[in-house]
Amino acid sequence: MLALGAVLYAARQYYRNWGATKEECVLHLPGDALVGDPVVQATEAVYIDSPPSTVWALLAQMGQDRGDAERIRPESQHLEVGDVLYPAPMGWMGLKRGLRMCVAEIEPEKYIVLRAMRPGLLRDALWSIHVLPHWEDRVRLLVRVRIGLRHPGEVLAMEMARPLVALTTRTFLIEFKHRVERLSSTQSPPVLRAVKDVVQQ
């Protein structure tokens, strides 16, 4: 077990900050202060060829039973601090009720900070998503994970879970990128302007 932990620890440089630049990895981002001095921090990123308003519109309706992955639902566009989201279904990673996260901070078209609602599992677990516009039709989407643990013995368990956390985050980014770009390619400019109007309401 210790040997496996050592191998995973040595390999983490290859997956801890998947797709993110060195500069992005050290950026101070909204939500970071909610988990001070984390045992685990990882930053992943991807480019999305789509207007920021479209990226945000799909981001705002993420979670189980909140929206359609292929279209914008105006009724799902208004997230607020305190709202509870279910990013993963029941049974995910052995969690009978799925993964529950609460909106801790939010700035429309800029970022969402989610905090895990399973204090018995982790003391502090934060998942923040940041929309960084690059021109009018391209976005850099960053996801940062920060975790604080309660006991030294949990560090080894977390190191073993790191690859799964990294893969789950990367899968989310790639699938989300494809959904947004597919939506943007099939919508006319008037429809995309309407999406922006809904987001900014």
Amino acid 46: pLDDT: 96
Is residue 13 domain-resident?
yes
Is residue 2 domain-resident?
no
Is residue 1 domain-resident?
no
Looking at 47-51, 71-75, 113-117, which range is the least confident one? 71-75
- Residue range 27-52, pLDDT digits in tens: 999 999 998 888 788 899 999 999 99
Average pLDDT, the chain: 78
Backbone angles phi, psi at 157, to 5 degrees: -60, -40
Is residue 67 domain-resident?
yes
pTM of the model: 0.78
**Alpha-carbon span 80 to 115, nearest angstrom:** 13
Instruction: Give the 3-state secondary structure of residue 196.
Output: helix
Mean pLDDT, rounded, for 87-106 = 72
For the chain, what is the domain count?
1
- Residue range 153-192, pLDDT digits in tens: 666 666 666 777 778 888 889 999 999 999 888 765 544 4
